[in-house]
Structure 1
Amino acid sequence: MATAALTAPATAPPAAAAPKGAPSRTAATAIRGGNVLYSAAGRCTVGFNATKAGTYYALMAGRCVGGAKDWYADAARTVHVGVTEAVRFPGTDYAVIRYTNPAVSYPGEIDIGGSHLDVTGAAQPAVGQTVCLPGSTSAVHCGPVRALNVSVSYPEGTVSGLVQTAACAEPGAVGRPAVSGRTAIGIVIGGSGSCASGGTSYLQPVVPALQAFGLTLH
């Protein structure tokens, strides 16, 4: 698969230096998968952190990101952490945010209500495989994969190649990471039903998004 070009950092770090945004004891804050970033248009959840050529990126839901350009770690928008690099929606549903603030760390972990799950890789799911939707502010919901290559229609157009699961997606779950054990599976792009009686979630697979931009989970 061809690799799309990403904008290089304004100043590339020396080969022996730590990547831009690498974890530091002096970091003002940390952004993990499941955390929220803020823009002038609203808020979106980080799915997974990734890296390429010494620079850190976030994978997020493309429909949520929309036309937003600048991203902040706080609702007051005082801690600028990154800029939108690419949005792929409709057709697919993901966005790539390039982190730009070296005072903030970007661990390859998911925030689960204050504890952290280290994500060790990414994979395409299989029907029947159990996936879980952890989040930083709500319960973890798990369920089996029901179908692959599912399409969902939006007013803006159709998104194809999605994963349908029986893991309930609560309101506000769009962008949340979906994992199987410590393996990244996808990003929540929507759902239906009630978590009290069962529900359905739809995931944008993470592997195609990583491959399209030459990114690696870390």
Structure 2
Amino acid sequence: MRKLAVGAAGVVLAASGLVAQSIPSEAPDASVKDARKVLKQEAAIPGTSWSVDPETDKLVVTADKTVKGDDLDQLKDVVDELGDNVELEQSKTVIQPYAVGGDAIYASERCSAGLNVLMAGNPFLLTAGHCGKTGSLWSDKKGLTVGTMVESVFPVDDYALIKYEDSTTPESAVNLYEGVNKVFTVGTPTEGMQVERSGSTTGVQRGRITGLNATVNYGNGISVDGLIQTDVCAEPGDSGGPLFSGGMALGLLSGGYGNCKTGGATYYQSLNEVFSKYNLTLP
């Protein structure tokens, strides 16, 4: 059994064909915080997401094509009531978590490996929580056992820990599909940062961070908060892969919309949160 040179990818959010109404905003910080609470309570409708646009400082609510009828009317009413600091966009595609896969890893679904880490000196692999359940056994593309998923958190957050079967310390690197990129640190994402992600479906894709602390509603009552939003494309199977900038790892792909032919948006679980919670370190 070998350790994985981790490639990044994740879950994609629909970002093509958005229709937005733009309303000027002056001092959004306090009202945006309140608006998030109201949306969570009154408009956590499957197929919706929201995050702050760094260029306008407005809270942008996105509704995919499945949001219609009474649900769409309800969403419009809530957004209207929230005033000038909130705007509504409608997408022609569908928000979804992608579970099919840097290096591909397999259980009942194919996903992408995220990042090799150490916890209490033992090697683990991070990926997306929606990719599998606690206790699931994971293998690589050759069918060799990688390890067992010992922690899976989804929804609210979206990450999982796979305990390596082999106790040998793995390398912390990203698969670039033309070599590897060494990861030296876990960093804090900032709006406008130039980033890359690697995944087993679409390889390495590039773009920038377009929002922080995003909320995505995937449906069936499943909502994920605190996500990093980018304009980097992804497709099913890229889920769980890493978001990175140079030698700095930033997140794990959770979901998004669109694809790598027409473009889209993607959302990532913050690595800082996971590292802090489990006291993780890089090998």
TM range (shorter): 0.7 to 0.9
Matched, 1:196 2:261: yes
Matched, 1:58 2:31: no
User: Which residue pairs with 2:213 in the alignment?
Assistant: 149
Q: Which residue, out of 157, 168, 186, partners 1:122?
A: 186
Q: Deviations over 1:8-64 (max 9, x none)?
A: xxxxxxxxxxxxxxxxxxxx533121112222x232211000012221011110001
Could you say if the C-alpha distance between residues 204 and 116 of structure 1 is closer, same or farther in structure 2, counting changes exceeding 3 Å?
Answer: same
User: Which residue pairs with 1:90 in the alignment?
Assistant: 155
Conserved 8 A contact 2:201-2:238 = no
Q: Which runs of 5+ in 2 are unaligned?
A: 7-101
| Displacement after TM superposition at 1:156 (Å) | 4.8
For normalisation by structure 1, the TM-score amounts to 0.78
More strand by proportion, 1 or 2? 1
Conserved 8 A contact 1:118-1:182 = yes
Distance in structure 2 (CA, Å) of the matches to 1:194 and 1:88: 25
User: Which residue pairs with 1:17 in the alignment?
Assistant: none
User: Which residue pairs with 1:9 in the alignment?
Assistant: none
| Displacement after TM superposition at 1:65 (Å) | 1.7
More helix by proportion, 1 or 2? 2
For normalisation by structure 2, the TM-score amounts to 0.61
Distance in structure 2 (CA, Å) of the matches to 1:107 and 1:164: 27
Q: Which residue, out of 205, 210, 213, partners 2:270?
A: 205
User: Which residue pairs with 1:70 in the alignment?
Assistant: 137
**SS state at 1:140 partner:** strand
User: Which residue pairs with 1:101 in the alignment?
Assistant: 166
User: Which residue pairs with 1:37 in the alignment?
Assistant: 105
| Displacement after TM superposition at 1:137 (Å) | 5.6
| Displacement after TM superposition at 1:136 (Å) | 5.2
| Displacement after TM superposition at 1:118 (Å) | 0.2
Distance in structure 2 (CA, Å) of the matches to 1:97 and 1:50: 10
Aligned length: 187
| Displacement after TM superposition at 1:123 (Å) | 1.2
Distance in structure 1 (CA, Å) of the matches to 2:266 and 2:109: 22
Q: Which residue, out of 163, 166, 169, partners 2:234?
A: 169
Q: Which residue, out of 197, 208, 213, partners 1:133?
A: 197
Letter in 2 for 1:118: K
**SS state at 2:233 partner:** coil
Q: Deviations over 1:158-199 (max 9, x none)?
A: 100001101111332111111011100101111212323431
Letter in 2 for 1:202: Y
Could you say if the C-alpha distance between residues 169 and 157 of structure 1 is closer, same or farther in structure 2, counting changes exceeding 3 Å?
Answer: same
Could you say if the C-alpha distance between residues 156 and 47 of structure 1 is closer, same or farther in structure 2, counting changes exceeding 3 Å?
Answer: farther
Letter in 1 for 2:105: L
**More relative contact order in 1 or in 2 (CA 8 Å, sep 6+)?**
2
**SS state at 1:107 partner:** coil
User: Which residue pairs with 1:12 in the alignment?
Assistant: none
Identity across the alignment (%):
33
Distance in structure 1 (CA, Å) of the matches to 2:233 and 2:179: 21
Distance in structure 1 (CA, Å) of the matches to 2:228 and 2:239: 14
C-alpha RMSD of the superposition: 2.0
Q: Which runs of 5+ in 1 are unaligned?
A: 1-27
Q: Deviations over 1:91-150 (max 9, x none)?
A: 100001111224x76211111114110001011201111111123563422111111111
